[in-house]
Amino acid sequence: MRTDVSGWKTRLTDELIAENTASGIWRNQTLADQLANVLAQNPDKVLIVEGDRQCTAAELDLQARTLASALQRRGLEAGDVVSFELPNWPETVVIDLACSMLGLVCNPIIPIYRDAEVSYILHDAGTKAVFIPTEYRKFDYAEMIARHRADLPDLEHVITVRGAADGTTLFEELLAEGDGADFKPVDVDPNAVKLIMYTSGTTGRPKGVLHSHNTIDTEIQAISKFLGLGATDVILMPSPVTHITGYLYGIQMPFTLNAPGVFMETWNAAAAGDLIDEHGVTFTIAATVFLQELTDFAVKSDRRFPSLRYFPCGGAPVPPEIIYNAHAAFDRCVCSRCYGSTEAPTITLGVNGREEETLGATTEGHIVGHEIRIVDPATGADVGPNIEGEVLSRGPEMCLGYADDEHNAEAFEQNGYFHTGDLAMLDDDGAMVVTGRLKDVIIRGGENLSSREIEDALHEHPAIHEAAVVAMPHERMGETVCAYVVLAEGGSLEFDEMVVFLDGTGMAKQKYPERIEFIEDFPRTAAGKIRKNVLRDRIAETLAADT
């Protein structure tokens, strides 16, 4: 264990640092270092695009230096936490760069979070400065912060972006306090905590995940090498940059690759299609629903998106037909499932060629940059190929642990393996198939049922657009299966029809849903994951009301 300059205990050891540095996996480069590399090659290179706004490397550098200077003059120093709860605006990149230049810890907060989540995160992280919009999507963020300011003793500076509010500092006013021309970035330890990001988990309090400059850079290097990405690529980022996916590939990757990133403030498949063609987008990565909707739009509008090369997706189950349909709709884009988490962002990276289409559609694909064990949750013993167990992972992009050290003992083994809480199996060729969550198992009369298996079967029905199954209370069996279903356009489904359909799958009848609830759309986390805890609570309340 090592105590970081921020005060948090991390899993780093001298041996781990020496091993990853000697191998060259940890390059000891901060984001500020990577910006300097871009400036040396082409200071006029456009790196961030938002609508009509195009930000060059030189412009971002000057703004970041000016902001870093202003924050430094306000007393912020290495290890202090700076939060931002902003949409996909270029200001997020400037904030992150300034943090990198000063050795500050960046804490992105998803804009959909409200009083309960935001007050908890700001308090738990010990945030010194927070950047917010005044009002966004008819919600007043400045008022929200004001409601909790008295309970946040560490919070000294509230900065509003694209609008002013009483008791706050306008972003432009803060910039006016700095001197970017004379500012010199401080020496920053690349193994220091660079990011604290709170999990968007579907149960319990969010946990603060700690990453260093090196762990983040390693992840970007891994996916770039696997897919052959470089300076000629163009990145589309529809995922929130306050989520691990958007943060890595929207804020970090443009500087690592010296390649432009195109921001989307809100997702819309038609708008995404226009941006892909306008900017020659070659790479994007997002939640499953984004790929599904972009495919639907491509088919309806007869758009083939010839520039698009790669679209890995995850965050929610990816039925195989989504991949097959996307390949039929797009000229050459390689689409596949991938798997990771905030703690270990990409354990698998899918596939990198259409010749592996079936592998990319039916598995999470190749394991890249991680050591993996699949273990029996009850005994901790390793299991063989094609046997389900919990995924344990370790590797150079693994997080440094949790801010609350109590979580580390439960999540990490002494040898560095991280308990993901996910269930999966490895096939005979070593490809991973994620089957569900440990806490997502439905225990029917003492028998464990995999939600993923049941959902995959339901997704084969032509009337079903999307399905999610959860446990519902049962007096005799303890739990049985309830299916929440979003119908396909023009589709209809009766319970008996579902039973007949499942009879044809060969699946054991004990796994059949015993109730269907139709829903227009699922409650989701910002990562696109279905909030099954909400669905479980909903069916429990429905059953209680019926008795």
- Which CATH number is associated with domain 218-240+259-438? 3.40.50.12780
What's the one-letter identity of residue 152? L
Average pLDDT over residues 284-308: 96
Distance CA 163, CA 489 (A): 41
Ranges of each domain in the chain: 30-189, 218-240+259-438, 441-546
Tell me the C-alpha to C-alpha distance, in Å, between residue 78 and each of 66, 121, 516.
Answer: 17, 20, 53
Are 217 and 29 in contact, with CB atoms under 8 Å apart?
yes
Q: Which helix (H) or strand (E) holds 49?
A: strand 46-50
For 78-82, 196-200, 259-263, 307-311, which range has the lowest pLDDT when averaged over its residues?
A: 196-200
Integer Cα distance of 498 and 528 in angstroms: 26
What pLDDT sits at residue 440? 76
Cβ distance 391 to 344 under 8 Å? no
Q: What is the pLDDT of residues 437-452, one digit of tens each?
A: 787 778 787 666 778 8
Same fold, 30-189 and 218-240+259-438: yes
pLDDT band at 203 (very low <50, low <70, confident <90, very high): very low
Lowest mean pLDDT among 174-188, 375-389, 437-451: 437-451
Q: Across residues 350-360, what is the average pLDDT?
A: 96
Q: What pLDDT does residue 526 have?
A: 73
Supply the pLDDT for residue 438.
Answer: 81
Is the domain 30-189 a CATH 3.40.50.980 member? Answer: yes
**Burial class (CB within 10 angstroms; exposed 0-12, middle 13-18, buried 19+) of 41:** exposed
SS (H, E, C) 69-123: HHHHHCCCCCCCEEEECCCCCHHHHHHHHHHHHHCCEEEECCCCCCHHHHHHHHH
3 state DSSP class of 541? helix
Q: Is the pLDDT of residue 204 over 70?
A: no
441-546: CATH, from 3.30.360.10, 3.40.50.720, 2.60.120.200, 3.30.300.30: 3.30.300.30
Q: What is the mean pLDDT of residues 528-542?
A: 90
Least confident of 187-191, 227-231, 330-334, 427-431: 427-431
pTM equals 0.86
- Looking at residue 456, the DSSP 8-state letter turns out to be H
Contact at 8 Å (CB) between 113 and 121? yes
Assigned token pair, 193: 């905590």
C-alpha to C-alpha distance for 87 and 346, rounded to whole angstroms:
23
Share of the chain above pLDDT 70, in %: 98
| Residue 483 · residue 458 · CB < 8 Å | yes
pLDDT digits (tens, 9 = 90+) for 3-20: 999 999 999 999 999 999
157-171 pLDDT, tens digit each: 999 999 999 999 999
The vertex-159 CA angle with 158 and 163, nearest 5°, equals: 130
pLDDT at 202: 47
117-148 pLDDT, tens digit per residue, is 899 999 999 999 999 999 999 999 999 999 99
Give tens-digit pLDDT for 498-513: 999 999 987 778 889 9
CB 211 within 8 A of CB 50: no
